[in-house]
């Protein structure tokens, strides 16, 4: 098990790493943040860290729900559901009390994540070393400023890191950048396109472009309906129904092909079945343009198919130029051209291989190992 070195009252003490991962979340759940929490806890355990996940609500077994290799020790703290903000405030207080009680018996690292705008901040008073994942920029509220004056920060992309450094005057030593990751099984997947289409009951000779993801307004999903009118490939969508798409985008979904919400275990089949994979991004929403770090990026890059990506600051900070075919955000003609190039270009294979190499470096396990190394370095 890794050892963590820390200075306590002038003395340097070394001990095996125990981690309490604090997250104001219902677990398990089928949303992206639930998958991310489960995969990171699994990766920490695989890297030798003794992790306990502390959450606010939920029921069910994480190993079964997320098909994990390891059981994740889980503590659900009692929180009354009196509205989201009040529940978040309760959780922040109860979780702080919980880690103080645990500190009477053991030493540990407190690790947290910004599930909302403030519930992580009271952990500034937590005992022992403190680290936090930041998936968005934060407003400089008083308690939040105090938090950033103490915690080691893991930002999920470069624009978020730059925003936090500027807002809270963080030194580079106190922040590292780690995008979300991908399962090693996705990198190792050798399922052929023909096999995937057979299992899904899709025609073997019909090529298509694919978008995978839930339907949120900030994603700029309306461009798919516009692009489908001129795209050289039909566009299939996994993640919602036509009705949901039309409510979110105010566009007709007539030209798109909807598979609905599919089980997580089925998504790799869809990725293998497609010819071109689409990562969207819009400059009309700050979260999409600068703060997102989609887990599906490395899932896409791990396949044997070309990826088309929006040239937003967020995505460019995660993917290198040579790993995708890029289109200008909010430009339908540019997206259509990128799909055409991804499907017909002679250098598509070169970009596919560059993408797979990048995905290999961003498995959940490797992400966890780099974060552990950051904890070691920050603690020393």
**CA 70 to CA 40: how far, in whole Å?**
12
Those residues with Cβ within 8 angstroms of residue 95's Cβ, 6 or more apart along the chain or in another chain? 22, 24, 54, 77, 123
242 pLDDT higher than 60: yes
Domains 3-181+363-379 and 184-360 share a fold: yes
CB 343 within 8 A of CB 237: no
**CA 106 to CA 322: how far, in whole Å?**
47
Average per-residue pLDDT in the chain? 92
Those residues with Cβ within 8 angstroms of residue 307's Cβ, 6 or more apart along the chain or in another chain? 276, 277, 278, 279, 297, 300, 301, 319, 323, 324, 325, 342, 351, 352, 355
Ramachandran angles phi, psi of 76, nearest 5°: -105, 115
CB 113 within 8 A of CB 133: yes
327 pLDDT higher than 80: yes
Tracing tokens 């920050």 back to the chain, one arrives at 378
Average pLDDT over residues 9-13: 44
What pLDDT score was predicted for residue 4? 47
Q: Topology of domain 3-181+363-379, per CATH?
A: Rossmann fold (3.40.50)
Q: What ranges do the domains of the chain cover?
A: 3-181+363-379, 184-360
| Residue 362 token pair | 């961003």
What CATH number has the domain spanning 184-360?
A: 3.40.50.2000
Residue 126: which pLDDT band, with cuts at 50, 70 and 90? very high
Those residues with Cβ within 8 angstroms of residue 10's Cβ, 6 or more apart along the chain or in another chain? none
pLDDT tens digits, residue range 328-345? Answer: 999 999 999 999 999 999
How many CB atoms within 10 Å of residue 229?
A: 10
- CA nearest neighbour of 47 among 375, 357, 378, 377: 375
- State whether residue 210 is helix, strand or coil: strand
| Residue 324 token pair | 């995708």
CB 88 within 8 A of CB 122: no
- Say whether the peptide bond before residue 47 is cis (omega within 30 degrees of 0): no
pLDDT top residue among 304 and 225:
225
pLDDT tens digits, residue range 182-197? Answer: 998 888 877 899 999 9
- CA nearest neighbour of 110 among 20, 193, 206, 9: 20
pLDDT tens digits, residue range 194-226? Answer: 999 999 999 999 999 999 999 999 999 999 999
Q: 0.85 exceeded by the pTM? A: yes
8 pLDDT higher than 90: no
To 10 degrees, what angle do helices 332-344 and 348-360 make?
Answer: 100
**CA 127 to CA 103: how far, in whole Å?**
7
CB 355 within 8 A of CB 308: no
Helix (H) / strand (E) element for 212: namely strand 209-212
**CA 149 to CA 129: how far, in whole Å?**
13
Q: End-to-end CA distance of the chain: give it in Å, rounded.
A: 18
Beta-bridged to residue 236, according to DSSP, are 210, 257
Average pLDDT over residues 119-124: 92
Hey, which bits of 286-372 come out as E strands? 306-310, 325-327
Residue % of the chain over a pLDDT of 70: 95
| Residue 282 token pair | 């819009």
**CA 219 to CA 289: how far, in whole Å?**
9
């Amino acid at each position: 098990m890794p050892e963590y070195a820390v200075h306590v009252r002038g003395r340097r003490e070394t001990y095996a790493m125990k981690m309490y991962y604090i997250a104001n979340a219902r677990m398990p759940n089928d949303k992206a943040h639930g998958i991310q929490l489960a995969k990171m806890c699994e990766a920490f355990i695989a890297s030798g860290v003794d992790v306990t996940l502390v959450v606010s609500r939920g029921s069910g077994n994480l190993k079964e729900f997320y098909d994990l290799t390891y059981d994740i020790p889980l503590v659900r703290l009692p929180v009354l559901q009196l509205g989201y903000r009040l529940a978040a405030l309760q959780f922040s207080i109860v979780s702080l009390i919980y880690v103080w009680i645990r500190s009477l018996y053991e030493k540990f690292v407190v690790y947290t994540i910004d599930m909302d705008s403030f519930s992580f901040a009271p952990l500034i008073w937590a005992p022992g070393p403190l680290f936090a994942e930041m998936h968005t920029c934060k407003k400089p509220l008083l308690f939040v400023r105090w938090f950033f004056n103490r915690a080691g920060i893991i930002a999920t992309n470069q624009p978020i890191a730059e925003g936090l450094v500027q807002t809270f005057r963080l030194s580079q030593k106190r922040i590292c950048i780690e995008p979300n990751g991908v399962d090693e099984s996705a990198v190792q997947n050798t399922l052929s396109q023909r096999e995937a289409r057979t299992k899904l009951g899709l025609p073997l000779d019909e090529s298509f472009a694919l978008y995978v993801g839930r339907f949120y307004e900030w994603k700029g999903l309306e461009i798919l309906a516009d692009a489908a009118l001129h795209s050289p490939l039909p566009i299939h969508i996994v993640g919602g129904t036509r009705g949901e798409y039309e409510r979110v985008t105010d566009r007709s979904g007539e030209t798109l092909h909807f598979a609905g919400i599919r089980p997580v275990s089925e998504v790799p089949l869809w990725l293998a079945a497609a010819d071109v994979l689409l990562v969207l991004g819009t400059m009309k929403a700050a979260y999409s343009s600068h703060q997102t770090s989609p887990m599906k990026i490395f899932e896409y890059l791990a396949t044997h198919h070309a990826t088309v990506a929006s040239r937003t600051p967020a995505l460019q900070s995660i993917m290198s130029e040579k790993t995708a075919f890029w289109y200008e955000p909010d430009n339908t003609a540019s997206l259509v051209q990128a799909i055409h190039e991804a499907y017909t270009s002679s250098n598509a294979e070169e970009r596919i291989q560059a993408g797979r190499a990048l995905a290999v470096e961003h498995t959940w396990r490797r992400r966890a190992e780099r974060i552990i190394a950051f904890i070691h370095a920050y603690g020393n």
